[in-house]
Amino acid sequence: MKTLLIIFHSLTGGTLQMARAAADGAAAEGELRVLLRSAVETKPEDVLAADGYIFATPENLAAMSGMMKDFFDRSYYAALDRINGRPYATLICAGSDGQNAARQIDRIATGWRLKAVADPLIICTHAQSPEAILAPKVIGGEELERCREIGASLGAGLAMGIF
């Protein structure tokens, strides 16, 4: 059985909602083990044991979150040249455009020689004031459906042996 590892960090709940939606979509795709793990608790051996990945992070100061960066810092060299060719997708919960966070993850994934199976999905909350940035987020149904679709596509590809 193939394993999809969804690694996330979420401070205000938006990214967690997105990651859960992707996990739900993937779980509906049959014979597939779906692991939803916070970036803090994910270890390099989790990365090595998985067959595909979804990286989900908020945009913080025009970058991926520090906790997601910490995950990559702890896992990068342990997985280097050991996960080549595995599929991945990226989910970003952004206050503005999220492009730099997506670029950062894509560069790391390129170093790991992973294969992107979807363009980064960036959901923009338009939170710009300190109060709005720190407030709990609620991601809309249409946006969550897009996250589910990415999870379902990646999950189906893994379950069918396409990836």
Mean pLDDT score, 23-45:
96
How many domains does the chain divide into?
Answer: 1
The predicted structure's pLDDT at residue 29: 82
For residue 71, what is the domain's CATH number? 3.40.50.360
Mean pLDDT, the chain, integer: 97
The beta-strand segments (E) located in 70-116 are 87-94, 115-116
Mean pLDDT score, 40-58:
98
The predicted structure's pLDDT at residue 11: 94
Structure tokens given for 120: 């980064």
**Residues of the chain with pLDDT > 90: what percent?**
98
pTM of the full structure: 0.97
pLDDT at 30 over 90: no
The predicted structure's pLDDT at residue 58: 98
The predicted structure's pLDDT at residue 125: 96
Answer yes or no: are the C-beta atoms of 44 and 74 closer than 8 Å. yes
Distance separating alpha carbons of residues 37 and 19, to the nearest angstrom: 9
pLDDT in tens, 75-109: 999 999 999 999 999 999 999 899 999 999 999 99
Mean pLDDT score, 103-120:
98
Q: Which residue range(s) make up the domain with 26?
A: 2-159
Q: Residue 92's closest CA among 153, 50, 146?
A: 146
- Chain position carrying tokens 């992973």: 114
Mean pLDDT score, 3-31:
96
Distance separating alpha carbons of residues 89 and 140, to the nearest angstrom: 20
